[in-house]
Chain A
Amino acid sequence: MARLPEAKAYQALARSKETTRPVAANVARAFLVGGLISVVGQAFMWLYETVFGFTEQTASNPTVATLVFLSVLLTGLGVYDKIGEWAGAGSIVPVTGFANTMASSALDARSEGLVYGVGANMFKVAGPVIVFGTVAAFVVALVRAVVEALV
């Protein structure tokens, strides 16, 4: 679809009226919070490896499950979104952000019922990650397999 000249002019105007984003501060906060969530994850890895006898490979399963649980709990209590306002991508990029979108979609749709509300809306925001991740992984795995077969 070609863009009309008026639309272009409008977009330029809208962009000039936009409040400038404090990029450096945003990036610093994202770094800090994303790093801290990873450190929390590392602490659980350590716990599952040393106390519960998981190996380095298998410890990431209970670690992810624990982070997801904590994220859903904090989402339900309204805390995760408060963190997100401050942290930006720092709360979106870790797996806790993925769980947060699912929990908040589920919570928001509760009033529409369990089936068409919670069930239908849970993946409304998280769905694209699964769809694109799966399709990308399928293509990458095929390419890799073909390359390995040929080389």
Chain B
Amino acid sequence: MIFFWAFVVGGLISAVGQLMMDVGRLTPGHTTVTLVVAGAVLGGLGWYEPLIRFAGAGASVPITSFGYALTTGALEELKRHGWIGVITGMFEITSAGISAAIIFSFLAALVFRPKG
């Protein structure tokens, strides 16, 4: 069942992104930035976590979860270490995605040649 809801929710968030581009006439950059900010706000309100529990990867794969994870990392570390945690905890959860993207992209630039 989680696979079904992952498909539906992941699809819906992408469909919202497409509407922002086609109807709202936003560039892809403005669309992803808006979704990230929306994820951060929803995370702060405590609404994104139930969505992840409900839809699994359907909520954690779209870029909205990046904003959610930044907020959550900051808030968790704030609880543990006080105000400095907002800064030290910010990238705690998103580290995997950012580090992997930097490392693999660098290696790809060494191996592949641009296509088209």
Contacts and interface: CB of A to CB of B under 8 A. Distances in A.
Bound pair: A and B? yes
B22 A92 contact: no
Contacts of A28: 15
Contacts of A67: 61
Interface in B55-102: 55-58, 60-67, 70-71, 73-75, 78, 83, 86-87, 90, 96-98, 100-102
A38 B22 contact: no
Contacts of A23: 18-19, 22-23
Given A68-B104, A144-B44, A129 B78 contact: no
A31 B70 CA distance: 25
Contact of B17 (A61, A65, A92, A126): A92
A91 B37 CA distance: 19
Given A64-B100, A133-B37, A93 B63 contact: yes
Main secondary structure on A side of the interface with B: helix
Contacts of B115: 77-78, 81
A134 interface: yes
Interface in A105-151: 105-110, 114, 118, 122, 125-126, 128-130, 132-134, 136-138, 140-145
Given A78-B115, A140-B43, A93 B32 contact: yes
B108 A72 contact: yes
Given A93-B63, A129-B33, A136-B37, A68 B18 contact: no
A99 B6 contact: no
Interface residues of B, number: 72
A33 to B, nearest CB: 7
A89 B31 contact: yes
Contacts of B63: 93-95, 97-98, 129
Contacts of B12: 31
16 contacts: A31-B15, A35-B6, A35-B58, A41-B61, A42-B57, A45-B57, A62-B96, A65-B97, A76-B108, A76-B111, A81-B115, A90-B18, A93-B35, A107-B112, A133-B36, A136-B70
Interface of A: 21, 23, 26-45, 60-65, 67-69, 72-73, 75-78, 81, 88-90, 92-99, 102-110, 114, 118, 122, 125-126, 128-130, 132-134, 136-138, 140-145
